[in-house]
């Protein structure tokens, strides 16, 4: 067996990707090449085979077909990289069974020997998500992101066969997985929590001649996601067919869903700077133009926001929210929630936020700052929001009047007759004129 570079694999595409969804192959090759991976094709490979269709023919046909693919791959001496959930589940299941069942392995190899093949079990089978997360790693992926999905909400759809059966597949939790979501969030997007997250797409019901039931299962997820996210991200061609092609048919029948469906390498490719045309995204049945337009808008918004705020700190502050109930103003004004305001800022609502009176409820008491272990403090965010508001001529009359007096007089109050009553003399002369000249050099707000 040859020594393997961590980023060198034999690519197993299966049937559906090269035949029906070549854009999935294109995006996979583009992003992996960008990440420095070397991919080798697998001549003479066949269907994985699909468990739900082929296994009913007989277990041995299923085992032999999968073992043949694995034996061919072993000749290259490289781990097998699989971007299709169904192929991955089949190959991992057969691999696991052959490793623990010597009798079955002997039977299978006896049949394979007539073709000059033998399964030895000396290579690994890795899902694309597994390789991206565990081998290549999120830090390296982030190094290649040039146009992040900041502010975009993506619904992850793992599909049944990325992580199941757990007796054969171990790279993430089969019921509460995290790695695919981490890869989505590595691109700057928010991977949302939602009720139907782990729901089967229902694709196999089509093969069982139950198209209405298949549509009903797809509809459940699509309806929920349409209210919560901009798109669904997945890595399964069968699931893609359900949510993209089936949704297209549903929309032709009058249903209003409009949920873009993205193969994860497409999402990664866009963030890396590849164009939708290079990725072949015009081959989707559900138009992605609205998603791309929203992404452009959010990208421009957050590019501007990054010049004002340290967005990583703002996000950490928002996600923590530990000190919200310690805010003195919250104690007397329960409807005031500073964390909600920060959330709106991160959702693309800067104009609405600075136009709201709520940002002026922060009284600069530093309570949040002193309680924050990282010394971030929500007050820092509110200070900048107030500055932006004033630059746009938005602010309470009291603040504006005080600023006007400061700019004109160099102080926030004029001496009164109360000093004489206490037999105090005139205060020292104010240096307002000199201060005005200095303030002009700051380039900051100065209208007088």
Q: Tell me what the pLDDT averaged over the chain comes to.
A: 94
Mean pLDDT, range 33-48, rounded to an integer: 98
- Give, to the nearest 10 degrees, the angle between helix 289-306 and helix 311-320: 100
What pLDDT was estimated at residue 163?
A: 95
Per-residue model confidence (pLDDT) at position 94: 98
> Mean pLDDT across the stretch 127-140?
98
CA separation for the pair 279, 26 (Å, rounded): 6
Q: How confident is the model at residue 113 (pLDDT cuts 50, 70, 90)?
A: very high
What is the arithmetic mean of pLDDT over 284-313? 97
Distance CA 326, CA 320 (A): 13
Question: What is the set of domains in the chain, with CATH numbers?
Answer: 8-132 (1.20.1050.140), 137-306 (3.40.50.11810), 311-395 (no CATH), 409-448 (no CATH)
pLDDT surpasses 90 at 317? yes
Q: What is the pLDDT of residues 342-353, one digit of tens each?
A: 999 999 999 999
Furthest C-alpha separation in the chain: 115
Instruction: Write out 96-148 in H/E/C secondary structure.
Output: HHHHHCHHHHHHHHHHHHHHCCCCCCCCCEEEHHHHHHHHHCHHHHHHCCCCC
pLDDT in tens, 225-255: 999 999 999 999 999 999 999 999 999 999 9
Report yes or no: 24 and 263 within 8 Å, Cβ to Cβ: yes
Apex 235 CA angle, 346 and 201, nearest 5: 95
* 206, pLDDT greater than 50: yes
**Whole-number Cα distances in Å, 74 to 67, 145, 202, 367, 430:** 10, 34, 33, 62, 86
Residue 126 pairs in a beta bridge with: 81
């Amino acid at each position: 067996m040859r020594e393997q570079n961590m980023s060198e694999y034999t690519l197993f595409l299966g049937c559906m990707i090269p035949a029906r969804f070549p854009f999935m192959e294109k995006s996979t090759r583009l992003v992996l090449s960008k990440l420095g991976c070397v991919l080798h094709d697998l001549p003479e490979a066949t269907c994985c085979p699909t468990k739900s269709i082929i296994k009913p023919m007989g277990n041995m046909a299923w085992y032999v077909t999968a073992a043949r693919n694995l034996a061919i791959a072993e000749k290259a001496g490289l781990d097998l990289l699989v971007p299709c959930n169904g192929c991955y589940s089949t190959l991992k299941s057969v691999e696991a069974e052959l490793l623990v069942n010597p009798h079955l392995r002997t039977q299978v190899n006896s049949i394979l020997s007539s073709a000059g093949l033998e399964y030895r079990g000396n290579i690994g089978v890795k899902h694309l998500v597994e390789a991206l997360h565990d081998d290549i790693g999120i830090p390296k992926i982030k190094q290649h992101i040039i146009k992040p999905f900041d502010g975009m909400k993506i619904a992850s759809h793992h599909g049944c066969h990325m992580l199941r059966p757990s007796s054969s597949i171990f790279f993430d939790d089969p019921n509460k997985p995290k790695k695919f979501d981490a890869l989505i969030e590595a691109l700057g997007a928010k991977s949302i929590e939602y009720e139907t997250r782990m729901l089967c797409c229902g694709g196999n019901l089509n093969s069982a001649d139950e198209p209405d039931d298949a549509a009903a299962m797809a509809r459940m997820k699509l309806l929920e996601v349409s209210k919560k996210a901009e798109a669904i991200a997945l890595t399964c061609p069968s699931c893609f067919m359900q949510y993209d092609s089936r949704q297209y048919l549903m929309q032709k029948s009058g249903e209003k869903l409009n949920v873009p469906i993205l193969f994860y390498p497409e999402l990664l490719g866009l963030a890396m700077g590849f164009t939708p045309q290079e990725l072949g995204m015009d081959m989707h049945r559900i138009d992605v133009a609205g998603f791309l337009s929203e992404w452009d808008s959010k990208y421009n918004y957050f590019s501007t926001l990054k010049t004002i705020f340290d967005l990583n700190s703002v996000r950490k502050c928002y996600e923590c929210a530990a000190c919200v109930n310690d805010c003195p103003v919250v104690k007397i004004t329960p409807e005031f929630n500073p964390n909600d305001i920060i959330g709106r800022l991160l959702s693309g609502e800067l104009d609405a936020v600075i136009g709201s009176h709520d940002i002026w409820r922060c009284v600069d008491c530093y309570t949040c700052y002193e309680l924050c272990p990282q010394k971030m403090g929500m007050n820092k965010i509110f200070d900048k929001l107030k500055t932006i508001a004033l630059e746009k001529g938005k602010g309470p009359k009291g603040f504006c009047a005080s600023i006007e007096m400061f700019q004109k007089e160099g102080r926030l109050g004029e001496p009164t007759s109360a000093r004489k009553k206490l037999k105090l003399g005139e205060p020292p002369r104010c240096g307002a004129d000199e201060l005005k000249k200095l303030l002009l050099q700051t380039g900051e707000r100065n209208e007088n």
